[in-house]
Copies of this chain bind each other. A is one copy, B any other.
Amino acid sequence: MQPVTVVPESDPGTETRSTGGSPGSGRRPGRPRSEQAEQAIIEATLDLFAEQGFEGVCVELVAARAGVGKATIYRRWPNKEELLLAALGSLKSPLPEPEGVSVRDDLIAMVEVMCADKADPRKARRYALLLGEGEKYPRLMARYKETVVEPRRDVMRTVIRRGIETGELRPDTDVEVAVLALTGAVMAQEKSVDRTFDGDFATRVVDGLLLGLSARAPR
């Protein structure tokens, strides 16, 4: 039995930075991994996932679309799930911190951003598909929520809390219910293609929620 000739084994996998010069220590021999190939793989993976879901991401297609060989993929990630995990983790949510004048304006702006995201087929389908496949692939779901969903909700919570402090919103506002109602309204819309809404969807939702349904004056 050989002592296995321990390779340095700094495991560049899934985190390789061929260039980027981490100083001195770990420059590995041989040809560096292509940063460009890696990016193309992630791109293609996200595309295919948005089109077809987990099952639809077939590694052969990812390789073809990214213009790489299958080995180049499996050299970085041990299997399909890890690949998806990395791809979802790479998602950035460029949600602009709203610093508007009034809470109403901030909320409208946020709902508009969410609607815009929903109008992007890639993003919308990623979300819908994860909703369905979340139980089957809980690690994917967790990664997505942590990377995309929760940051977004946090911003909304912050806006609402600020509104309560400034007195613009009722002091006994149910923050969680408000967040659910706003995000949920965006989710539920169009699911049964409403032709009722034009461009003022965000305004109507926010105003509807701000005013409330009740005819009795609340205070």
Interface residues of A (CB under 8 A from B): 52-53, 55, 125, 128-136, 145, 149-150, 153, 160, 163, 167-171, 173-174, 176-178, 180-189, 191-192, 194, 196-197, 204-205, 207-215, 217-219
Closest partner residue, chain B, to A219 (CB atom): B217
A184: which B residues are within 8 A, CB to CB? Answer: 180-181, 183-189
A192: which B residues are within 8 A, CB to CB? Answer: 145, 149-150, 153
Closest Cβ–Cβ distance, residue A133 to chain B (whole Å):
6
Provide the bound-state CA to CA distance between A205 and B211, in Å. 15
Copies of this chain present in the complex amount to 2
Contact with A204, one of B177, B191, B217 (Cβ below 8 angstroms): B177
Provide the bound-state CA to CA distance between A44 and B55, in Å. 22
Provide the bound-state CA to CA distance between A171 and B136, in Å. 45
A177: which B residues are within 8 A, CB to CB? Answer: 185, 204-205, 208-209
Closest Cβ–Cβ distance, residue A23 to chain B (whole Å):
40
Top 6 closest pairs, chain A to chain B, by CB: A212-B212, A184-B184, A132-B132, A184-B188, A177-B208, A129-B132
